[in-house]
Amino acid sequence: AMFYQAYREAGFDPAKMPIASLSTSEAELADMSNEAAEGHITAAPFFDTLSTPSARRFVTQFKQRFGPDAPVTASAEAAYFQVHLAMRAVAKCGSDDPERVLLELRDAEFDAPQGRVRIDHENNHTYLWPRIARVDGQGRFRTVWNPGVRIKPDPYCVVQSLDDWSADELHASTT
């Protein structure tokens, strides 16, 4: 929060040069002023402002349980669906033996608040729904980019490539 406030006080304009942080969530926004937060961006599969019925239901139930001011973050959403996936696998195989549970989790799917997630049988990580959001004047994330597809996990950054627009920009800046 202090970095965002100092950024604003230094005269930087987030409309022209926003902070893009993967570690800024609703919890961090709760600790800073709306003025300091406004205009900055982050990427996550879940934001508490998603309008899908499952996301709204999750946020409502989370706040009923933990209080109306409790920040509902992507980490909370991930913990929620991971517990559901794990417990369904335990119930299905009738054991909590890690090897048996892992076999049950392969290709398992769950209707998470972010959208339907699936465990990848190749690496045991989860297909997620990428989104980018910008903080509005009320200190809330508003989605500005949502491709509407879940993405295969690449947890070890084995596959790296530039998008066409990145390659074009790179080429243009070197000529």
- Dihedral of CA 114/66/22/32: which sign? positive
Where residue 22 sits, what CATH number does that domain have?
3.40.50
* Number of helical (H) and strand (E) elements in the chain, helices listed first: 7, 6
Residues 6 or more apart in contact with residue 144 via CB below 8 angstroms: 41, 132, 133, 134
Cβ partners under 8 Å of residue 37, min gap 6:
4, 29, 135, 139
The answer to whether 157 and 146 are in contact (CB under 8 A) is no
Range(s) of the domain holding residue 104: 2-174
Tens digit of each residue's pLDDT (9 = 90 or more) over 81-116: 999 999 999 999 999 999 999 999 999 999 999 999
The per-residue pLDDT for range 25-55, each reduced to its tens digit, is 999 999 999 999 999 999 999 999 999 999 9
Q: Determine the pLDDT at residue 157.
A: 75
Domain count, the chain: 1
Cα dihedral across residues 141, 143, 148, 154: positive or negative: negative
Residue type, 11: G
Q: If pLDDT is split at 50, 70 and 90, which confidence band does 161 have?
A: low
Under 8 Å CB-to-CB from 133, ≥6 apart: which residues? 41, 42, 43, 44, 47, 49, 141, 142, 143, 144
| Band (138; pLDDT cuts 50, 70, 90) | very high
Among 94, 102, 100, which Cα is nearest to 124's?
A: 102
pTM (predicted TM-score): 0.86
* Nearest-angstrom CA–CA distance, 3 and 21: 12
Question: Which among 49, 45, 75 is positioned nearest to 60, based on CA atoms?
Answer: 49
